[in-house]
Amino acid sequence: MSTVPFNPLFRLSSQPWSALDGLGPVAAEALARILSGEPAERVLDRTLRAHRELSREGRQALKEAVFNVGLWRRRLAFLLGSEEVSPRALLFALLHGLGGVPAADAASWAGLEAPVPLRTGEPPSLALRASLPDWLADHLSRELGPEAEDFCAHLNVPGPITLRVNPARMSREALAARLASEGVATRPGSWSPLALQVEGPRPNLYGLASLREGLFEVQDEGSQLLGLLVEARPGETVLDLCAGAGGKTLQLGAAMADSGRLLAYDPDPERLDRLQQRASRAGLTRVHVLRTPPAPGLGADRVLADVPCSELGSLRRGPDLRFRLTPDVLSRFIPTQRDILAQAADAVRPGGRVVYATCTVNRAENQDVVADFLRARPDFRLVPPGSGWLPAACVQDGFLFVTPHRHGTDGFFAAVLERANAAG
């Protein structure tokens, strides 16, 4: 890991801010809605649809302004010396205080009559430096100790666009060549043998023939590692117990070479509605969507339980996610997580494997849930994750643990649990 402190502000100085000229009122209206609690992605989408006349530079500048004010709101309020400030003042503080735009230009582009005074110097707390709620900064400091500052800095830049090759259709190298022919430059991922990271400007992936042909899916590299830990094999019975939209289900199906039984269930059945369509596109015919929970005694060879959680590991995916959380999120999902892990244990055969996973950084949802489970189920044991293929840098205390600041992935935790054979 680099010893040079990561500066999440670096990208702000390279944005096309001059394209905001004349857009101050549009930005201020969108920001007011976000600051009042509306989801940033939805607000921006509606704003851009209402202003289709904008140039490409104008759309980019407006997006960066809206997202970054939403993200940096606490640090911007510190610069302004008050929590009660207008969206236009916050935009000025972003442009001038963090983005390095000259004060007169920043005021004009933000729709102010004149510049406003800003504090100088580094904010005194992690919460203000990284623009986090106090309770969340305190929690991450407890969880990560001296690494908390670096972790939080990495939450303040967008995550990479990562693709997972469909190995049932082609190799990673062949996919990279195909994408290059479609104008998309990529490089291999650092941890998953299935991963490609998109380089350069964000492409319209959903317009690519290669996606329509099922050659790849968009999937964070850390998420890919969860699927790989299952080590699904052709001919087995595999259960994805919290399948969501089905990205990891498709990954498991490819690993099984479209053979055996692949069962997908999710507590929210609507999330599975498109899975069969996606499976067909990926060339998978053995995916069975379950509309009710699997019965105990299923006898699955392997079960993946990527459980609902506080999602602190993916906060960089949305500029306002951190401000829409409340402290109770740290404990809200624990009863559900325990129930799902117990359900997974009942579904796996003797000698089989359960992978328990979250996308959070919270011992109470991760190590503590696993420890409680192992005390209640002595027929299970914790085994090293990914023996023989998972890099040691992705393992901590016998668990998979990857983070933005260490690995460039979202934050993920996983425990690999194996059930004793009936005779043992």
CA 104, 110, 116, 118 torsion: positive or negative? negative
pLDDT of residue 137: 98
pLDDT at 364: 98
What is the rounded average pLDDT of the residues 64-85?
94
Share of the chain above pLDDT 90, in %: 86
Answer yes or no: is pLDDT of 368 > 60: yes
In angstroms, the CA 160 to CA 35 distance is: 26
Cα 10–chain centre separation: 22
Q: Is 403 exposed, middle or buried (0-12, 13-18, 19+ CB in 10 A)?
A: buried
Q: Are strands 216-218 and 162-165 parallel, antiparallel or unpaired?
A: antiparallel
Would you list the DSSP string of 287-317? EEE-SSPPPTT--EEEEEEE-----GGGGGG
Active site residue ranges: 359
**Structure confidence at residue 89 as a pLDDT band (50, 70, 90):** very high
Q: Is the pLDDT of residue 335 over 90?
A: yes
Q: Is the pLDDT of residue 224 over 60?
A: yes
Specify the pLDDT at position 6.
87
Report d(CA 184, CA 300) in Å as an integer.
Answer: 39
CA 19 to chain centre: 30
Average pLDDT over residues 41-62: 93
Report pLDDT for 4.
66
pLDDT at position 423 is 61
pLDDT at 105: 96
List the one residue out of 3, 49, 412, 41 whose CA is nearest residue 225: 412
Judged against a pLDDT cut of 70, whether residue 3 lies above it is answered with: no
pLDDT exceeds 50 at position 1: no
pTM of the model: 0.94
Does the pLDDT of residue 104 top 60, yes or no? yes
pLDDT-derived band of residue 378, with 50, 70 and 90 as boundaries? very high
pLDDT of amino acid 113:
93
Q: Average pLDDT for residues 272-289, to the nearest whole number?
A: 88
Q: Flag whether pLDDT at 267 surpasses 90.
A: no
Helix, strand, coil percentages, rounded to 5, for the chain: 45, 15, 40
Distance CA 390, CA 394 (A): 7
> pLDDT, tens digit, for every residue of 165-211?
999 999 999 999 999 999 999 999 999 999 999 998 889 998 999 99
Question: What pLDDT score does 220 carry?
Answer: 96
Across 141-145, average pLDDT: 98
